[in-house]
């Protein structure tokens, strides 16, 4: 999901309103386009380094006096290197749209080729048709590597390549006119086969290479189409799969897609039916504090996916790591919203099973601030789902959840998990928000599982300098009870007990707005 307060998707422009520059990029995957600036920087640095090593180092070692004889011995090389380094500087200091990066890349291909050709061909004592001119210019290598490093639509690639290789005959003609050869000007046919024909072949190779890369991009784009949605850019990855920014084919509605790999979820038909059944239940959840599910399905490769609303904000794992533990009144303000979401899910027969800070997303939502969205019901379990029990019994060591926030009965591999497992995880989240520390720390997941199953936690108040009311301190420990019968019986009951925690200065939307404006401005 998005972090650091960024809005991750803007509605696409109508095709008719796009500039020609924007249409350059329509069939290339966005994540590949977004790498364009870094790829062009690397190519420009390679260009400058290679130019210096090939044009100046041998001369400085063996004939240093040549550089003083005439400016044309060093000026084209210096100018070309400066241009390449300028491209790097601009890309590092200016955020260009992907289509503008592609325009800059095509321009650099042409200008860079003219720089190479000028350094190779325009210098005293003029053109000498003999051994020094045998073989291809460095322009050929530059044009070919450009089309591999920087994907470009084939029609633009061939036009740019033609313009780039024209540098060779153009600079040869300049050299012939400025510094006539001692043995006379070579014949036109010789000039063509030495400085024209080979570069037409280079253009053909560049076009074929660009077409292959471009076709691969189109295949990747098609492979990323899930139902009515197209995957645009990967936002993150975790143990259960990947989260992608997505666009709808016809609507301007922003979306995020969670892909759950079939190897994780179980590739059997029964697992697929269970996923569909649980996704349908999740889609019926109407709590404003539950992330809205738009769609779900199964991809061609067997991966499960579901489409959800794209949010602006950051999760509580990131929030605590960036800003430290929260005041108790804010923690209660957030937990009440979490309980509201879970209460409806539990009433619908679902247990989340993976409540953790990364799945509690804090966002601006319209005019509201500190608005909670509970995410990732992807491993949610129907309370009395015998199908899952049978599936779990056929797979060795199946444990669902996150070790640092897992209930003892889940840690021990129990299959009769009920809503009180989520209550335990809420207690772990509360502990994290209040102290900035995990309930238990260990250097291995198995040690964490054993700690949750057998060890007693310290009071949150003993691990932070922030004041925590006694009622909240006790309530967190009650949620962390090893015996689930000792925990609050439901999310609704936990919500009622949170309402009973009194504060001299409660957390309000006004305070939340002030915090967001100060720490995560739009």
**pLDDT over 60 at 461, yes or no:** yes
Pairing assessment for the beta strands 255-260 and 360-365 based on DSSP bridges: unpaired
* Confidence (pLDDT) at 456: 95
Confidence bin at 293 (pLDDT 50/70/90): confident
Other CB atoms within 10 A of residue 107 CB: 13
Q: Considering only 91-105, 130-144, 498-512, which range has the smallest mean pLDDT?
A: 130-144
Average pLDDT, the chain: 80
Q: Considering only 199-208, 440-449, 454-463, which range has the smallest mean pLDDT?
A: 199-208
Span 137-158, average pLDDT: 84
Indicate the angle between helix axes 188-195 and 197-223, nearest 10 degrees.
30
Q: Which range is most confident: 224-228, 323-327, 366-370?
A: 323-327
Choice between 255 and 337, residue whose per-residue pLDDT is larger:
337
Under 8 Å between Cβ of 14 and 216? no
DSSP per residue over 241-293, as a string? EEEEEEEESS----EEEEEE-HHHH--SHHHHHHHHHHHHHHHT---TTBPPE
Confidence bin at 244 (pLDDT 50/70/90): confident
CA-CA-CA-CA dihedral for 225, 228, 231, 232, to nearest 10: 120
**pLDDT over 80 at 174, yes or no:** yes
8-state DSSP, 227: T
Answer whether CATH 1.10.260.40 is correct for domain 314-519. Answer: no
Whole-number Å distance between alpha carbons of 458 and 439: 8
Helix (H) or strand (E) holding 312: none
Catalytic residue among 295, 354, 418, 422: 354
- Predicted confidence (pLDDT) per residue in 367-417, tens digit: 899 999 998 775 556 554 434 433 333 333 445 678 999 999 998 887 788
Whole-number percent of the chain with pLDDT over 90: 38
- For 500, the token pair is 């009973």
- Tell me which CATH code domain 226-308 carries: 3.30.200.20
Q: Is the peptide bond before 93 cis (omega within 30 degrees of 0)?
A: no
Q: Considering only 159-163, 213-217, 307-311, which range has the smallest mean pLDDT?
A: 213-217
DSSP per residue over 433-486, as a string? HHHSS-SS--SSHHHHHHHHHHPPPPPGGGG-SS---HHHHHHHHHHT-SSGGG
Span 64-73, average pLDDT: 78
In 3D space, the residue among 316, 217, 216, 304 whose CA is nearest the CA of residue 257 turns out to be 304
* Confidence (pLDDT) at 225: 65
* Confidence (pLDDT) at 425: 96
Confidence bin at 361 (pLDDT 50/70/90): very high
Q: How many CA atoms lie within 13 A of 407 on its CB side?
A: 30
Whole-number Å distance between alpha carbons of 201 and 373: 58
State how far the alpha carbon of 390 is from the alpha carbons of 387, 398, 414, in Å: 5, 12, 13
Question: Does the annotation count 474 as an active-site position?
Answer: no
Q: Say whether 118 sits in a helix, a strand or coil.
A: helix
Other CB atoms within 10 A of residue 410 CB: 25
* Confidence (pLDDT) at 7: 31
* Confidence (pLDDT) at 492: 96
Span 29-49, average pLDDT: 79
Structural domain boundaries of the chain?
A: 30-223, 226-308, 314-519
* Confidence (pLDDT) at 18: 44
Question: For residue 130, with 0-12 CB atoms within 10 Å meaning exposed, 13-18 middle and 19 or more buried, which class applies?
Answer: exposed
Confidence bin at 17 (pLDDT 50/70/90): very low
**pLDDT over 50 at 286, yes or no:** yes
């Amino acid at each position: 999901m998005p972090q650091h307060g960024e809005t991750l998707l803007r509605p696409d422009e109508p095709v008719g309103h796009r500039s020609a520059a924007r249409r350059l990029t329509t069939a290339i995957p966005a994540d590949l386009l977004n790498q364009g600036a870094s790829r062009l920087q690397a190519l420009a640095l390679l260009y400058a380094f290679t130019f210096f090593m090939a044009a100046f180092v041998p001369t400085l070692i063996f004939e240093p006096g040549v550089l003083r004889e005439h400016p044309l011995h060093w000026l084209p090389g210096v100018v070309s290197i400066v241009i390449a380094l300028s491209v790097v500087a601009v890309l590092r200091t200016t955020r260009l749209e992907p289509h503008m990066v592609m325009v800059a890349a095509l321009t650099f291909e042409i200008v860079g080729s003219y720089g190479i050709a000028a350094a190779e061909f325009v210098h005293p004592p003029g053109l000498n048709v003999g051994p020094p001119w045998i073989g291809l210019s460095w322009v050929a290598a530059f044009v070919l590597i450009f089309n591999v490093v920087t994907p470009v639509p084939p029609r633009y690639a061939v036009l740019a390549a033609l313009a780039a290789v024209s540098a060779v005959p153009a600079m040869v003609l300049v050299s012939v006119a400025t510094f006539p050869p001692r043995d006379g000007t070579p014949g036109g046919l010789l000039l063509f086969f030495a400085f024209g024909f080979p570069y037409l072949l280079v253009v053909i190779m560049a076009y074929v290479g660009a077409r292959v890369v471009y076709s691969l991009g189109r295949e990747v784009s098609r492979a990323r189409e899930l139902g009515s949605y197209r995957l645009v850019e990967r936002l993150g990855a975790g143990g259960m799969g990947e989260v992608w920014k997505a666009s709808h084919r016809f609507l301007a509605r922003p979306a995020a897609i969670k892909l759950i790999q079939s190897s994780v979820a179980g590739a059997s038909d029964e697992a697929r039916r269970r996923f569909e059944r649980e996704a349908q239940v999740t889609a019926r959840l109407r709590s404003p504090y539950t992330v809205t599910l738009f769609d779900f399905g199964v991809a061609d490769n067997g991966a499960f996916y579901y489409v959800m609303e794209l949010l602006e904000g950051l999760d509580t794992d990131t929030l605590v790591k960036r800003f430290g533990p929260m005041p108790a009144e804010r923690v209660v303000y957030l937990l009440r919203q979490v309980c509201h979401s879970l209460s409806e899910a539990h009433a619908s027969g679902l247990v989340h099973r993976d409540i953790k800070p990364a799945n509690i997303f804090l966002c601006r939502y319209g005019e509201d601030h500190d608005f909670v969205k509970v995410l990732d019901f992807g491993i949610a379990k129907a309370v009395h789902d015998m199908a899952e029990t049978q599936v779990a019994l056929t797979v060795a060591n199946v444990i669902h959840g996150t070790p640092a926030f897992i209930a003892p009965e889940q840690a021990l591999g129990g299959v009769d998990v009920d809503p009180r497992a989520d209550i335990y995880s809420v207690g772990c989240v509360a502990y994290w928000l209040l102290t900035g520390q995990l309930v238990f720390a260990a250097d291995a997941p198995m040690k964490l599982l054993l700690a949750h199953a057998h060890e007693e936690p310290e009071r949150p108040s003993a691990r932070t300098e922030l004041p925590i009311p006694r009622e909240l301190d006790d309530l967190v420990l009650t949620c962390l009870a090893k015996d689930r019968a000792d925990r609050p019986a439901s999310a609704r009951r936990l919500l009622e007990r949170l309402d009973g925690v009194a504060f001299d200065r409660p957390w309000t939307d006004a305070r939340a707005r002030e915090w967001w404006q100060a720490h995560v401005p739009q």
